[in-house]
Amino acid sequence: MRLIGREEERQRLLDLAANDSPEFVVVYGRRRVGKTFLVRETFNGTFDFAYTGIANVTTREQLAGFHQALQEYATGDLVQPRTWFEAFAQLRGIIKSRPTAQKKVIFLDEMPWMDTHKSRFLPAFEHFWNGWASGRADILLIVCGSVTSWLSNKVFQNTSGLYNRVTRRIHLKQFTLRECERYLEALGVSYHRQQIVEAYMVFGGIPFYLKEFERGVSLAQNIDRLCFGESPRFSGEFESLYASIFNRHVRHVEVVQALATKSRGLTREELACLVGFPDGGNLTRILSELEKNGFVRSYSPFSRKKRGRLFQLVDHFTLFWLNFIRDSRQNDEHFWSHFMGSGGYHAWSGYAFEQVCLSHVEQIKRKLGITGVLTRVCAWSGGAPGQNAQIDLLIERGDRAVNVCEMKFSAREFEIDKDYDLRLRRKLSAFADGTRTALTLIPTLVTTLGLVQNKYAGIIEQEVTLDDLFA
């Protein structure tokens, strides 16, 4: 499989390999997003040294694995290192023996796993970079890791030996809808765009999940095969996903389960009450780690008053798992095929499509012609007693306007009828009264196939369709 998308990230790595200064690059992002594949494909799998950390092993076992990798690149036999200082000294010797003047590319994948308990890995790594590699213009050191919280705490925010040492950061995000389309085409999986959106609603833009799709099989059948029945492909994915990223991941799972109960999100205080542990530093750390790994987003609600930030669960696969797999007591291998078209499916798809839209705000802004305008993305809920309203996507603009976005997933052109027209007008009125905003309100519809032009369609001033999300 060739590299799909990632053009900007790939070119950045190639530029760093061609310059004449030492580079310490960190490639980070959610597990399964394709960090390793990006680096290996960019350099055609050819490195001056490469090693992948091993999860859940002792320091001795980790050093044994590192020694095996060193031996592959060495010209002679090496004594197995007893410490990380010895291991990096041997790596130094291997790189120094390279006769060419071109950039030496060192790739340390899953580096957080190398930092086992009391291993002294980090001081040894600091010494390797500060005492030698940073002084050589021919060194390109690339570090990867799915444990983004470790990279943030131990590397990005390091206050000692690695303070301000990273020269480049590359945050690899999930695929956009357009990249998913290209990826599935490369796999030989032929789905039209509405089906690709539905796939995104289940799995997000995670290449690891998409590559499991079978050709010549409907989307519903692929979802059934991967998620339902007696032994689906992804039966243990949720647990392994969180366990591989977070230490004591049970607490992290409790938090995402609580966040899944409220679509708009929860404040830290509300969350503390719901999960049953004090609103202190531990919860702050967990939320920070979830956000850094892309499972949660935080935002300030639209308000002229000071209010706490809201934390919202945004990982598509987590939301799907919590909705349909966690409490499943049946082994119906055709569950999703049977469920599609039901009332429960329509309720889920409406919310899941909203999450897809939140993942593609830049595409929405491009269609609205406001990419050059200062914007703030937020949400709002409130209103007079008995008339509560909720708006899940507001784009507040620097030109004193706000796009009030309605997001509707529909198998055909969306039609506004009398009842919906009335509800929308009440929502706009509740928002204007509740916020006392002086901004111009621009009702905006984000939908799959567009809007039926009837006598009620005039309430919508701007429109975004599926093709715009694929831009």
Q: Considering only 82-91, 260-269, 355-364, which range has the smallest mean pLDDT? A: 260-269
CA 31 vs. chain centroid, Å, equals 8
104 within 8 A of 95, measured Cβ to Cβ: yes
281: pLDDT strictly greater than 90? no
The model's pLDDT over 131-151, given as tens digits with 9 standing for 90+, comes to 999 999 999 999 999 888 889
pLDDT on residue 300: 85
Quote the pLDDT of residue 159: 86
* Average pLDDT of the residues in 323-333: 77
Q: What is the mean pLDDT of residues 91-104?
A: 90
Higher pLDDT, 308 or 57: 57
Q: Is 372 exposed, middle or buried (0-12, 13-18, 19+ CB in 10 A)?
A: exposed
Quick one: pLDDT at residue 431? Answer: 94
Cβ pair 336, 223 in contact under 8 A: yes
Q: How far apart are the C-alpha atoms of 281 and 292, rounded to whole Å?
A: 16
Give domain 7-171's CATH architecture: 3-Layer(aba) Sandwich (3.40)
Phi/psi of residue 449, each to 5°? -115, 10
Q: For the residues 220-240, what does the mean pLDDT come to? A: 91
Taking residues 240-262, what's their average pLDDT? 91
For the cut 80, the answer to whether the pLDDT of residue 327 exceeds it is no
Is the confidence at residue 381, as pLDDT, over 70? yes
pLDDT per residue as tens digits for the range 263-277: 888 998 899 999 887
Q: What is the pLDDT of residue 147?
A: 84
Ranges of CATH 3.40.50.300 domains, the chain: 7-171
pLDDT value, residue 99:
78
pLDDT, tens digit, for every residue of 193-214? 999 999 999 999 999 999 999 9
Q: State the CB neighbour count (10 A cutoff) for residue 50.
A: 20
pLDDT for the residue numbered 150: 87
Mean pLDDT computed over 250-273:
92
Top-tier CATH class for 361-469: alpha beta
Give the pLDDT score at 1: 65
Lowest mean pLDDT among 166-170, 188-192, 382-386: 382-386
The structure tokens listed for 36 are 């390793």
Q: Percent of the chain at pLDDT above 70?
A: 97
What SS3 state is found at 398?
coil
Round to whole Å and give the CA distance between 153 and 157. Answer: 5
Say yes or no: domain 238-323 is CATH 1.10.10.10. Answer: yes
Share of the chain above pLDDT 90, in %: 76
- CATH 3.40.1350.10 in the chain, residue ranges: 361-469
**In this predicted structure, what is the pLDDT of residue 304?**
52
Split at pLDDT 50, 70, 90, the class of 399 is: very high
**Residues of each domain in the chain carrying CATH 1.10.10.10:** 238-323
pLDDT tens digits for range 445-460: 999 999 999 999 999 9
Lowest mean pLDDT among 149-153, 211-215, 223-227: 149-153
Computed over every residue of the chain, the mean pLDDT equals 92
29-54 mean pLDDT? 95
Q: Express each pLDDT in 113-123 by its tens digit.
A: 999 999 999 99
Coarse DSSP helix, strand, coil percentages of the chain, rounded to the nearest 5 percent: 45, 15, 40
CA–CA separation, 26 vs 141, rounded Å? 8
**What average pLDDT does range 413-430 have in this prediction?**
95
* Extended beta strands in 90-238, E state: 104-109, 139-145, 168-171
Q: Token pair of 83, please? A: 């410490």
Does 332 score more than 70 pLDDT?
yes
Position 9 pLDDT exceeds 90: yes
What pLDDT, on a 0 to 100 scale, did the predictor assign at position 87? 98
Q: In this structure, are residues 189 and 4 in contact, taking their beta carbons and an 8 Å threshold? A: no
